[in-house]
Amino acid sequence: MELTVIGCWGAYPAPNEATSGYLIKRGELSILLDCGSGVLSRLQNEVPLEQLDAVFITHTHADHIADALTLEFAALVLMQTGKRSKPLDVYVYGEDPDKLGFQFPECVRVHPIDLRQKVQIGELTMEFSENVHEVPCCAVKVTAADGKSLVYSSDTGYCDSIVEFSRQADVLVLESSFYDWQKGAMRGHLTAGEAGEIAALAKPGQLVLTHFPHYGDLRQLEAEASSRFDGQTRLAFGGMKLNI
Ligand SMILES: [Zn+2]
Ligand SMILES: [Zn+2]
């Protein structure tokens, strides 16, 4: 499968960029993990919206869901114009789907994510794990039929569950919202050093840091994670592609 980072910013997008959004492609299949601010525009550089098969929303903070209702309008127009033949499946964790504001059930089918249940989309298997965050939030594991796997943490504080969930993933995409000097400043997010500690225990094939702060030198995040994890560590960027 191929991962494309659509957006990597926490809170709000940098100019011409996006907050959380990660596209997974496998053959004809296209799945979006989170649909934050700016994602819908940039997503179209990578896949025509009529070909998007499913969207997974890890939690309802705006930097992860802001463009989801606009995506519903896209599905509406694409179905009205005959470009899209089937509704878009949107899976959401932690909120009653009826409260999310989707208006066109014939265009978007909203499903609650149940942590105990895997979701099969073609040959991709999706699994979920509860995080530590201000609102209910889940991490997502995507496993392809060939056994390759990606774990995307979404937003989380340090917890044993994300370590267990990430063990031996080929690629671990971990949030690093803060620098080490900010440790303890805010519950529900990781410092880059904590991300490195999680990776050191989970031993992924490689670590990709994301969900960045809008200040400081991001290379410091990479250095702080690398001081704990001796495997390959990289900073995400909009348009980054990884073959997994
Ligand atoms: Zn976030
Ligand atoms: Zn959040």
pLDDT (tens digit, 9 = 90+) per residue, 189-243? 999 999 999 999 999 999 999 999 999 999 999 999 999 999 999 999 999 999 9
Annotate 166-181 with b (16+ C-beta within 10 A) or e (fewer).
Answer: beebbbbbbbbbbbbe
**What's the gap in Å between 11 CA and the centre of ligand 1?**
6
**What's the gap in Å between 61 CA and the centre of ligand 1?**
6
**What's the gap in Å between 61 CA and the centre of ligand 2?**
5
**What's the gap in Å between 83 CA and the centre of ligand 1?**
32
Distance of CA 77 to the CA centre of its chain: 25
List, for residues 45-99, the tens digit of each pLDDT value: 999 999 999 999 999 999 999 999 999 999 999 999 999 999 999 999 998 888 9
List, for residues 147-168, the tens digit of each pLDDT value: 999 999 999 999 999 999 999 9
2-243: what fold?
Metallo-beta-lactamase; Chain A (3.60.15)
**What's the gap in Å between 227 CA and the centre of ligand 2?**
26
**What's the gap in Å between 84 CA and the centre of ligand 1?**
30
C-alpha to C-alpha distances, 200 to 49, 106, 193, nearest whole angstrom: 37, 45, 10
For ligand 2, an ion, list residues with CB under 5 A: 61, 155
pLDDT value of position 236: 98
